[in-house]
Structure 1
Amino acid sequence: MRFRASIQNIHTFTKFTASLATLGHIAWVRLDEKDVRFTVIPEQGTQVWSVLSIDTIFETYTIQSAAPDNTINLEVPLAPLQRALKSAQNAVAANIRLTKKDNIPLLSVTITTQTMSSSAPPGTNGHASSDEPNSTGFGTGEEFREESVDFFGARQDRETLVTQDVPVRVLAPASVEGLHEPRCREPDVHIVLPNLMQLKGISDRFTKLAMTTKGASKSGFGSAVSGPKLELSGNMHGCLRLVLNTDAMRINSLWTGLENPELDPSQVVDGEEGLANHPSTRMKAVGDSSGQSEEGWATVRVEGRDWGRVLSVGRLGGRVIACFCHEHALILYVFLNGDEPGGGDSVLTYYISSYAT
């Protein structure tokens, strides 16, 4: 069993692992010849199923195992991996490989850094002098002593290697074959979300406000166990609404003019006929683009702090499509920026269950 790769997009890889680490401590990582998959399944909260094309984060990539497609399954602690990658932010090169020390499997991250050093003979401080110095630092005669260039403190580049080891578990194929993405019905609404960092800022303010009001603690929206709930709604006319509703207050933020992507009939069961009967088609027939009509909205209720952690993926950029299954679940598809090598082939999928009222 072998795995070794050079990391070409260290910033993307670091921000990606940081966004996952906010949602869970452990990731199931599947490596094979086709792609790289990171899956986080916490006991409570949002699940993440991500598929990254190899060249999204790696340059050279070597993998070998006895499993089909040379698959290797690992259980990886996210916080140590994030720390190892964060230390490589200013590296000139970074590599990752699967190895073993004292019979413990490890992901070893090797970082190459470059430092500058200078040297000068003792007592000179890098300044030229003559046999008969005066106040200008030069002798009064016309002849000057010649010195080597090292005398002036030649700069030298030096490379330093640093290796950080992340303990992992190698999983047998049989132990992960039963894992699969949650199954959801066809969405009622699909809409492109606004800038996630803007949405996160507003969501976090709503959550903090709910936690500081007495009314929130008396309602189901602010229990100490799960925290304040936020109500998120969308329609098929480009509208998104975020609501905080407690015994003490009701406040909301509304976005209009967002995009509702067209569905591809070839990707819908029964093609054109299936598209005509799709839930989102029926939702589009009601409501309007002003956001004032109460018809045609699909709504889910999310735990505020968990939702804020989900939105941290906004640091990666990219296009995000939210699919609403009314009163059931919210599914986010995060497509990484196309300007990253291979980014168009990489998608992170977030499954968020809706809380009951």
Structure 2
Amino acid sequence: MRFRAGIQNISTFTKLVGSLSTLGNVAWLRMDDNDVRFTIIPEQGTQVWASVRDDHYLRRHALTLEIIFETYTIQSAAENNTINLEVPLQNLQRALRSAHNATSANIRLTKKENIPMLSLTIITNIQSSILANSGFDGATPTQIGQDGSHHANESEAGFGDDLRESSIGFTNRQERETTITQDIPVRVLAMASVEGIHQPRCREPDVHIVLPQLMQLKSISDRFTKLALASKAGTSVRSGFNDRIGPKLEMSANMHGCLKLKLKTDAMNITSTWTGLFNPELDPDHVGGEQGVAEHRSTKMRELGDSDGSSEEGWATVRIDGRDWSRVLSVGRLGGKVIACEYLRLRR
């Protein structure tokens, strides 16, 4: 079982892992010849199925292997060289952060003392005077040997991972090119333990729309959630309100570029409306050709309503948990202004 990849876009990879970590602590990482997929399935809340693929169609619409990985090699006895791992996301995110200013980086599956590890190795240029005074990145204390090499204090490696550091040359008297390896313990999952887990199937959407800026949408959603929680605080004992169940927000959209976010309680009724948003055109290859487009539910919904949102027809509506929705919107760090998605699945 082998896996090795050179990382050419550390920033994007770090943002992806950071976005996923807001939704869960542990991810199922499934890798094969053409696909790297992170899956989070919590006991309660939103499931995440995030794929980085080698796919011609997706190169125009989503993350591809080439965007993150410079080289990609995988080998196993399973079909399509599939490898399944259980990965602690926060540990992986911390390791990737240390590679922010690296000149090169790669990640590989290895084993240390019979424990499987994802080893992130980075090469970076750092000032030797800084190393002597404060240690690498101010996070992991280092010791300088007589031969000029550096050795990490493993007991203070930050999050229990093994951190190894070795000098591989000098560019001048002040700068040192250093290789740093961080090992993230993982668990190898047998194919039998994950073969029954499948991505949820959703029917074709009634409406598909590109969301406004996610950070703006998150700010308003959080404000609505706080107002709902505040209104519940005084009546939680009398009404039996469960604080672990977040307040419900109502989100609606139509095929004329309109989106509404609504909070309705006994004490208040607040709505925020966006207009002029974009409704992407359907790809005939994915809905059964031109006839499939003509018969699609969203095409029929486009015939209803209007662009200013004043009509009550042509809207698709879903109720969402406010706190869970806020965590989902944290993926805005991956694309600050807009999320590019083929469909926003809104059901009546």
TM-score under structure 2 length normalisation: 0.78
Deviation at 1:272, TM superposition (A): 3.4
- Code of the residue aligned with 2:284 in structure 1: it is P
Mapped partners of 1:163, 1:32: distance in 2: 24
After superposition, give the CA deviation of every residue in 1:192-246 in whole Å (9 maximum; x if it has no partner).
11111111111111112222224896699x7412111111100011100011111
Q: Which residue of 1 aligns with 2:197?
A: 179
- Counterpart secondary structure, 1:190: coil
Aligned residues of 2:252 and 2:346 also touching (Cα < 8 A) = no
- Code of the residue aligned with 2:40 in structure 1: it is V
Are 1:100 and 2:111 an aligned pair? yes
Percent sequence identity over aligned pairs: 68
Deviation at 1:79, TM superposition (A): 1.2
Mapped partners of 1:13, 1:169: distance in 2: 21
- Code of the residue aligned with 2:22 in structure 1: it is T
Aligned residues of 2:21 and 2:90 also touching (Cα < 8 A) = yes
Aligned residues of 1:298 and 1:324 also touching (Cα < 8 A) = no
Mapped partners of 2:92, 2:18: distance in 1: 9
| Greater C-alpha radius of gyration | 1
Counting matched residue pairs gives: 290
Aligned residues of 1:216 and 1:248 also touching (Cα < 8 A) = no
Are 1:211 and 2:229 an aligned pair? yes
Mapped partners of 2:201, 2:235: distance in 1: 33
**Shift in CA distance, 244/215, structure 1 to aligned 2, threshold 3 Å:** farther
Q: Which residue of 2 aligns with 1:228?
A: 247
After superposition, give the CA deviation of every residue in 1:24-59 in whole Å (9 maximum; x if it has no partner).
121111112212111111111111111113222111
Deviation at 1:117, TM superposition (A): 4.1
Q: Which blocks of at least 5 consecutive residues in structure 1 are unaligned?
A: 119-153, 328-357
Q: Which residue of 1 aligns with 2:305?
A: 287
Describe how 1:75-90 pairs up with structure 2 within 5 A.
75-90=86-101
- Code of the residue aligned with 1:108 in structure 2: it is S
- Counterpart secondary structure, 2:174: strand
Mapped partners of 1:61, 1:262: distance in 2: 33
Are 1:237 and 2:237 an aligned pair? no
- Code of the residue aligned with 1:114 in structure 2: it is N
Mapped partners of 2:308, 2:96: distance in 1: 45
Aligned residues of 1:215 and 1:248 also touching (Cα < 8 A) = no
Q: Which residue of 1 aligns with 2:25?
A: 25
Mapped partners of 1:257, 1:280: distance in 2: 17
Aligned residues of 2:205 and 2:343 also touching (Cα < 8 A) = no
Deviation at 1:92, TM superposition (A): 2.1
Are 1:326 and 2:326 an aligned pair? no
**Between structures 1 and 2, the one with greater strand share:** 1
After superposition, give the CA deviation of every residue in 1:76-107 in whole Å (9 maximum; x if it has no partner).
11111111111221222222111111211111
